Each structure stands twice: as C-alpha cells, then as structure tokens.
C-alpha cells in the first residue's frame, strides 16, 4: 500500500477507517429508538410480573394483570408527553441541560407519585359515566380497560407526532367512548362534558394572557429601569414568592395523597404565608448572587435561572402527585370491581399500583421525553429564564382561578398556552415599535416569533383529543365485548 509523500500515515487506510467510524456512529444513532422501545417493553413485562405477583389467585386475576400492563403503558405515555410542560421552558431558557432536566424531573415525578399520589379515583371518571348505569361487573371492567388503553394509544400517537396533549382529557375521552358503548348516550353527564369543553378554550387563553402580563410587569419593573441589576435584586424575590405562594395555594386546593384539599380561603392564606416565607429566604440569597455582576440584562437573566429550576421541579412533583391517577385510577376501579363486583365514588389506590405508576412516569420521561421538551422549550418560540419564569407563574395562577370557578383544567393546556402568550406578546411589541406598512413581506414574516406550524399542530391535537380517545376506546370495547 503506498505511503503519503511525507512518509506519514497510510492515507487510504485512514480514509477507510474514517468511513467505518462514521458507519458505526450512524448505526448507533439509528439504534437509539430501538433501545428505548426495548426498555419500554421490558418495563411492561416487569409490570405484568408485579401485577401477577400481587393478585395471583384472586377472582379476575387475568383481567387485573392485563389492566396492569395497560396502566404501565399509560404511565409511560404520561411521562413522555406531560414532562415537557414542566421542564420544557427551563431547558429552552438554558437554565438547565436536557440531561439535568430529565434526571431532576424523573426524580420529582416519581417522588410526587409515591409520596402524594395515593389519592382517590378521579371524580371526573365517576361523574362522566355513572358506573351503576353500566350493568354487570364484567362489562364495567371491560369499559375501564378499554378507556385506559384507548387513552394511552392516543397519547402515544400524539407524542410520536410531537404534540403536547392533555392526558387528563385523553382519559376523559376514553371513559366517554367506552361508557357510551357500554351504557348508551343517555348515561353521559353532558353538563360535566360541557365544563371540560369550556376549560379547553379558557385555560390556554388565561394562561397566555397571565404569562404576557407577568412579562410586561417584569419589563416595567426591571428591564426598563436604568439600574436593572438593582431592580432585579428587589423584584426577583417578590416574583419568586408569588410563584411559590401560588404553588402552595394550588396544593392546598387540590390536596395531596391522603391529605384532603382545603377550602379556597384557607388555601389562599396558605399561599400568602408560603410566599412570604420564600420571599424572606430569597432576599439575602439573591443579593449574594448579584454581588459582582454587571448592570446588564444578562445578569438579570442569570438571577432568574435558579428560581426557574426550582419552579420546574415543584411543578414536576405536583404533576406526578396528581396525574399518576390518570394511569392507576382505572386500574384501581378494575381491581375493586373484580374483588367486590363494583366500586364507589372514592377508593384508595393500592401501593403496588402507585409504584408501577411512578416508575412508568420516570421511565417514559427518560426514554421518550426529550422530543417534546425541545418542542415546548424552544421550537414554539424562543425562551430565556425570564420568559420561562413567566410561563411557570402563569400556570400556577391559572390553576387557582380555574379551581375557584370549579372548572377542570389541563396543565398541558395552561403551560403551552403560556408559551404561546409570551411569543405573541413579543410579536405585538415588535410590531408596535416598527411601522409594518414600510416593511417588506419577508421581513414581517421573519418577525413572527411564534412558529405557526407548531401552533396549528398543537391546537389541532387539542381539538381532537377527547373525540379521538373516545373513538379508539369505543372501538376497543366493541372488540372486547
């Protein structure tokens, strides 16, 4: 084999080795999805074994094991899809890396599910279709299994398409479709469905408006001041206190685990107290963090980074505590129906189902979460720590307002609506500061800070969530029957 002119390396051999290396890298990149699917399949097998170990020998054990696998499948999809709501803005703002966000969110989601997720079965599931209208226990079990599987399939499709959807609304749609097939249209509580439909429209709009208002307030109190760093030292603890207080109020309203929710007045008092304590703690912390920083907006953004990560972690904990019921609630109904022939309006979730739900949330986030985290965090509109903090704050405030009105809301709709609100508000500011009549059409398009393709995809996914999940669940029930 000929040498190079300088007597150095064997160039043809180097070129061949380089090609082999590139082929190996391409093969490894292509195999990544297969590894994720393989690990997900292994988790489903693990769930089946655990379900068989806990219910072996009991009546209807085969149905319970099948429901356990479907519940684990739903938990994987919830972790993959809903994680973007909490960690997406923090990653998009570069306040935390993708790996750090996944690790932190997985721990927080699992902790929330295990420590505070032993709640009763969702009352929405009972209110949509009255179990007494379904008939015999076998039909009820098939209906709940069909609802859970149909909702999981729809969320899986939405995750594959890169659309963050509401897992709560998916479960609602699944129960609606399977319930109609089992008991007929007259068994549906259409008043409750009307409330849920109203929440589709109101929650993202309110979330977007509040996020834009918070950003406008930050601009007024910090960004437009001559001493931006000094203004940030004063106002960042206030904003973080409001966020922490809002989170505490939400927890007070909804309750956690075996701790029931509080009346609205007591929850608001809890929020004010928690926010005041958090403000008092953060005042000296922010002052020390600002020491030595330059008087510029980059320094202000740095001061918002840590509060943003804390907020995302808290919201992940709350999500794990509340939304794990979407996966294990129908499973609990099936277990109770198998054991007693029916279930009431409140049942404690067995500990072993919580473990499967918590592990499923963490595994789904780890294996399939990055794609939607990137979509929410950076592909809808450009985010930084300040804008992402506005999204987190608006999510907490919107949930409080909706709870006061008695409207069921989706954390997905609220968070994504906040991201849209930030983007459209910045578009409005850009248009106000310029003369659109003098700009070329290409320049006007370039100044659109919200990507319309992603916006339309997500809105379309929201609109078809309940009817699609209902159709899939109804078809599955027809097959099982």
Structure token digits, residue 154: 């729809």
Alpha-carbon distances of 257 from 202, 252, 348, rounded to whole Å: 28, 12, 9
Cβ neighbours, 10 Å, residue 226: 7
CA-nearest of 183, 99, 196, 189 to 413 is 196
Per-residue pLDDT for the chain (481 aa), expressed as one digit of tens each?
A: 444 455 455 556 556 555 555 555 554 444 456 777 888 888 899 888 888 887 766 666 788 888 889 989 988 888 887 766 677 777 777 777 877 878 887 788 777 777 665 543 455 555 677 666 776 777 878 888 898 899 999 988 887 777 778 887 888 889 889 888 988 888 787 877 787 777 777 888 888 898 899 889 988 888 888 899 999 999 999 988 887 887 788 777 766 655 667 787 888 899 899 999 999 998 998 999 888 888 888 888 888 887 888 777 777 776 676 677 777 777 877 777 776 655 555 555 677 887 888 888 888 888 887 776 766 655 556 777 888 888 877 877 776 666 656 565 677 778 778 888 888 888 888 776 555 555 555 545 544 556 666 677 778 888 888 899 999 999 999 998 7
Locate the domains of the chain by residue range: 27-480
pTM of the model: 0.73
What is the SS3 assignment for the chain?
A: CCCCCCCCCCHHHHHHHHHHHHHHHHHHHHHHHHHHHHHHHHHHHHHHHHHHHHHCCCCCHHHHHHHHHHHHHHHHHHHHHHHHHHHHHHHHCCCCCHHHHHHHHHHHHHHHHHHHCCCECCHHHHHHECHHHCCCHHHHHHHHHHHHHHHHHHHHHHHHHCCCCCHHHHHHHHHHHHHHHHHCHHHECHHHHHHHHHHHHHHHHHHHHHHHHHHHHHHHHHHCCCCHHHHHHHHHHHHHHHHHHHHHHHHHHHCECCECCCCHHHHHHHHHHHHHHHHHHHHHHHHHHHCCCCCCHHHHHHHHHHHHHHHHHHHHHHHHHHHHHHHHHHHHHHHHHHHHCCCCCCCECCHHHHHHHHHHHHHHHHHHCHHHHHHHHHHCCCCCHHHHHHHHHHHHHHHHHHHHHCCCCCHHHHHHHHHHHHHHHHHHHHHHCCCHHHCCHHHHHHCCCCCHHHHHHHHHHHHHHHHHHHHHHHHHHHHHC
What's the rounded Cα separation, in Å, for the pair 428 and 209? 13
What's the rounded Cα separation, in Å, for the pair 291 and 349? 49
What's the rounded Cα separation, in Å, for the pair 103 and 243? 23
Do 210 and 398 meet the contact criterion of CB atoms below 8 Å apart?
A: yes
- φ/ψ region of 130 (left if φ > 0, alpha if ψ in -120 to 50, else beta) reads beta
Chain CA centroid to CA 157, Å: 16
């Amino acid at each position: 084999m000929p040498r190079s002119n300088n007597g150095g390396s064997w160039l043809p051999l180097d070129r061949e080795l380089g090609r082999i290396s590139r082929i190996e890298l391409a093969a490894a990149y292509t195999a990544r999805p297969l590894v994720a699917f393989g690990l997900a399949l292994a988790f489903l097998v693990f769930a089946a074994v655990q379900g068989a170990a806990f219910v072996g020998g009991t009546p209807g054990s085969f149905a319970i094991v099948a429901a356990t696998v479907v519940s684990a499948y739903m938990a994987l999809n919830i972790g993959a899809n809903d994680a973007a709501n909490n960690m997406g803005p923090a990653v998009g703002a570069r306040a935390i890396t993708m790996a750090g966000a996944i690790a932190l969110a997985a721990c927080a989601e699992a902790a929330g599910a295990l420590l505070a997720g032993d709640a009763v079965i969702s009352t929405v599931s009972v209110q949509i279709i009255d179990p007494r209208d379904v008939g015999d226990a076998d039909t009820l079990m098939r209906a709940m299994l069909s609802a859970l599987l149909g909702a999981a399939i729809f969320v899986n499709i939405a995750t594959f398409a890169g659309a963050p959807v509401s897992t709560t609304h998916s479960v609602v749609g699944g129960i609606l479709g399977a319930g109609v097939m089992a008991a007929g249209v007259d068994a549906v509580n259409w008043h409750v469905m009307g409330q849920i439909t109203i929440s589709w429209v109101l929650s993202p709009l309110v979330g977007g408006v509040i996020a834009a208002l918070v950003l406008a307030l930050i601009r007024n109190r910090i960004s437009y001041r001559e001493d931006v760093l000094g203004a940030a030292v004063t106002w960042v603890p206030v904003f973080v206190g409001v966020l922490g207080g809002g989170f505490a109020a939400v927890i007070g309203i909804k309750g956690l685990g075996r701790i029931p929710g509080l009346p609205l007045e007591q929850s608001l008092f809890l929020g004010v107290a928690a926010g005041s304590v958090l403000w008092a703690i953060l005042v000296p912390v922010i002052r020390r963090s600002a020491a030595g920083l330059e008087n510029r907006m980059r320094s202000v953004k740095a001061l918002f980074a840590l509060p943003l990560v804390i907020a995302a972690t808290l919201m992940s904990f709350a999500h794990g505590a509340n939304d794990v019921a979407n996966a294990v609630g129908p499973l609990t109904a099936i277990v109770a129906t198998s054991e007693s022939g029916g279930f009431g309006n409140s049942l404690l979730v067995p500990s072993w189902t919580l473990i499967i739900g918590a592990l499923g949330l963490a595994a789904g986030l780890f294996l399939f979460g990055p794609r939607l985290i990137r979509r929410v965090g950076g592909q809808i509109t450009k985010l930084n720590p300040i804008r992402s903090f506005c999204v987190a704050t608006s999510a907490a405030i919107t949930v409080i307002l909706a709870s006061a009105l008695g409207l069921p809301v989706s954390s997905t709709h609220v968070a994504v609506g906040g991201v849209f609100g930030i983007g459209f508000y910045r578009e409005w500011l850009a248009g106000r500061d310029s003369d659109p009549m003098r700009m070329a059409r290409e320049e006007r398009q370039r100044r659109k800070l919200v990507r319309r393709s992603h916006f339309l995809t997500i809105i379309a996914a929201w609109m078809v969530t309940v009817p699609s999940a209902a159709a899939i669940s109804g078809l599955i029930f027809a097959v099982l029957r």
